[in-house]
């Protein structure tokens, strides 16, 4: 694709590169993140009917991209041969934002779509957990093109792209388990089972980023448990399951120790992060592989294995600032509501866990994981926003 | 070599590693010996397995990173019990590379741009309208 580019030079060396097509992407990402920001601050108020239509429309796009992503894993030939992959690539950069707005709208105003999102999201989380457990036990439903292993142990990921995504999605189902685990009746039993199963999946993926996310969320959870006593049980279930898995398969801890003993993937991440300030100055509107004209630009467009910094790399400074702002607002709300013993605090532990996890990974290649992540964040953001008022809504 | 293929295994030990940025690793390997394995594959695959064949790329893939091999030197096919000949492999790779690099017609391309840029733009426009209306109220 041809595009106009502006190259600023100092002493013959390029210091800033601005590409017209990159500006379009950067502008769109800035606009979408601004919409989320305005919505979080209550500055966008659609009518019920408008919200309903918008939520259904976004659901269609998200479902389409997620379905192609999964189909591409099961039958790559078919997806490549048809134009489905091109369609997926056109949608994939925006999927998590679409999913965020989709559930945010449905959980505040559109009841029927909300029911659909709960059912579809819950089913997909369940399938992701189940297939990961089957993969761990040696039953492969997909002919995987890549194998992730550590010292002879094959790290499972089920229908998800890599064990990193499997760990991330398990953190979401863990939070779902907590949300149900504090309720009464069959939901309590199902919630505790889900908490245990999700914790086991987090452990079995050997994803250190997911482990770290779970650890931080667990610590925050213990803080919240002081205000909501029922939370103690699911938290102890989490801790007990993790300990049991550690005893049964202690190899996972060796991978953790390896991180501190010069693991190249960790050092690589640290080195890339240190280069971010100069990178952002040079590419203020970001750089992606698609629009890179030189090998230098192509190399610069590589992933930093950090979701937030990758937004900066690909879309520039403004989207990065907006994203960090959105995450801060979400985290602040979860902390505030959690200290008041509100349900959003429990569900928000999933947000805290994934926010930490995303510092060490970027699931953008897996539209299913991105859809579940964006949808979950959107759902939590639509829950109670005023801690001193009675709960307005919480997912069933 | 129509039916003959040599898998070259460079046997040695790693004596140093230099981590570069953006996932490029430079490894220094002290070569002890080279073993040629005629027509040998490491494992036998079940029929129907999806195989990426890098034989056309030769044995000089830098750092063993298959990601740097150009598309026209890679062929993919379903395993049918034996390795395809080199001629057949070149034919498959050429066809696949052509299909991959073939730019879609203007119509489909416009539709893709419409989806890629139109959907977020529409959402921004709707959000902008909601914001404007909320401010007026």
Residue of B nearest to A61 (CA): B119
Residue B133 confidence (pLDDT) above 70: yes
Residues of chain A with pLDDT under 50: 1-3, 9, 386-396
pLDDT confidence of residue B54? 80
Closest CA to A373 of A85, A157, A62: A62
pLDDT confidence tier of residue B2, bands split at 50, 70 and 90: very low
pLDDT confidence tier of residue B49, bands split at 50, 70 and 90: confident
DSSP-derived letter for residue B102 is: P
pLDDT confidence of residue A329? 95
ipTM associated with this complex: 0.87
Other CB atoms within 10 Å distance of the CB of residue A71: 16
Whether the Cβ atoms of residue A378 and residue A59 lie closer than 8 Å to each other: no
For testing contact with chain B, the best of A29, A85, A90 (most B CBs within 10 A): A90
Determine the 3-state secondary structure of A393 from DSSP.
coil
Closest CA to A372 of A108, A192, A102: A102
Closest CA to A310 of A340, A280, A265, A267: A280
Q: Which residues contact A156 (CB under 8 A, 6 or more apart)?
A: A132, A133, A135, A136, A163, A166, A201, A204, A205
* CA-to-CA separations, A32 to A89, A102, B97, B133, in angstroms, rounded: 18, 13, 36, 18
Q: Which residues contact B8 (CB under 8 A, 6 or more apart)?
A: B34, B35, B36, B37, B59
pLDDT confidence of residue A125? 96
Give B121's contacts in chain A (Cβ within 8 Å): 28, 31
* Partner-chain contact B130 A32, CB within 8 Å: no
pLDDT confidence of residue B21? 42
Whether the Cβ atoms of residue A326 and residue A37 lie closer than 8 Å to each other: yes
Closest CA to B49 of A371, A117, A144, A63: A144
pLDDT confidence of residue A341? 84
A264: which 2 tokens?
């190249």
pLDDT confidence of residue B83? 80
* Partner-chain contact B124 A31, CB within 8 Å: yes
Distance CA A312, CA A273 (A): 11
Can you list the positions of beta strands (E) in A120-263?
149-150, 153-154
Distance CA A355, CA A363 (A): 12
- Of A29, A43, A87, nearest to B134 by CB-CB distance is A43
Give A98's contacts in chain B (Cβ within 8 Å): 119, 123
pLDDT confidence tier of residue B81, bands split at 50, 70 and 90: confident
């Amino acid at each position: 694709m041809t595009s106009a580019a502006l190259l600023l030079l100092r002493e013959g060396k390029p210091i800033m590169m601005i590409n017209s097509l990159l500006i379009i992407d950067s502008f769109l990402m800035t606009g979408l993140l601004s919409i989320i920001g305005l919505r979080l601050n209550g500055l966008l108020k659609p009518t019920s009917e408008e919200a309903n239509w918008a939520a259904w429309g976004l659901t269609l796009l998200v479902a389409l991209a997620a379905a192609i992503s999964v189909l591409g894993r099961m039958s790559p030939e078919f997806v490549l041969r048809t134009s489905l992959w091109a369609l997926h690539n056109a949608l994939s950069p925006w999927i998590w934002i679409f999913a965020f707005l989709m559930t945010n709208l449905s959980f505040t105003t559109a009841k029927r779509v909300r029911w659909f999102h709960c059912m579809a999201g819950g089913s997909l989380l369940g399938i992701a957990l189940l297939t990961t457990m089957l993969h761990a036990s040696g039953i492969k439903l997909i002919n995987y093109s890549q194998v992730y292993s550590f010292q002879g142990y094959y790290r499972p990921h089920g229908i998800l792209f890599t064990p990193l995504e499997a760990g991330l999605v398990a953190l979401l189902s863990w939070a779902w388990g907590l949300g149900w685990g504090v309720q009464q009746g069959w939901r309590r039993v199902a919630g505790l089972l889900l908490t245990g199963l999700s914790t086991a999946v987090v452990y079995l993926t050997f994803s250190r980023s997911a482990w770290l996310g779970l650890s931080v969320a667990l610590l925050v959870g213990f803080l919240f448990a002081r205000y909501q006593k029922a939370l103690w049980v699911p938290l102890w279930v989490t801790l007990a399951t993790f300990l049991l898995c550690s005893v049964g398969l202690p190899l996972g801890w060796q991978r953790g120790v390896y991180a501190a003993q010069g693991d190249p993937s960790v050092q690589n991440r640290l080195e890339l992060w240190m280069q971010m300030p100069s990178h952002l100055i040079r590419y203020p509107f970001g750089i992606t592989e698609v629009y890179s004209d030189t090998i230098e630009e192509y190399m610069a467009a590589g992933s930093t294995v950090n979701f937030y910094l990758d937004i900066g790399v690909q879309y520039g400074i403004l989207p990065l600032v907006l994203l960090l702002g959105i995450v801060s607002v979400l985290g602040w709300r979860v902390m505030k509501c959690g200290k008041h013993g509100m349900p959003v605090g429990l569900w928000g532990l999933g947000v805290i866990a994934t926010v930490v996890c995303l510092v060490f990974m970027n699931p953008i290649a897996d539209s299913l994981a991105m859809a579940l992540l964006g949808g979950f964040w959107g759902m939590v953001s639509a829950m109670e926003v005023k801690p001193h008022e009675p709960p307005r809504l919480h997912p069933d | 070599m129509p039916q003959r293929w040599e898998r070259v295994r460079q046997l040695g030990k790693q004596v140093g590693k230099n981590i570069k940025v953006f996932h490029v690793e430079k490894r220094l390997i002290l070569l002890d010996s080279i073993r040629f394995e005629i027509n040998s594959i490491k494992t036998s695959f079940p029929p129907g397995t999806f195989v990426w064949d890098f034989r056309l790329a030769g044995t000089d893939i830098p750092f063993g990173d298959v990601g740097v091999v150009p598309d026209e030197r890679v062929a993919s096919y379903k395993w049918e019990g034996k390795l395809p000949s080199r001629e057949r492999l070149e034919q498959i790779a050429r066809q696949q590379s052509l299909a991959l690099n073939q730019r879609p017609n203007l119509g489909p391309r416009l539709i893709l741009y419409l989806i890629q840029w139109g959907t977020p733009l529409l959402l921004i426009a709707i959000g902008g309208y909601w914001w404007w209306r909320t401010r007026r109220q």
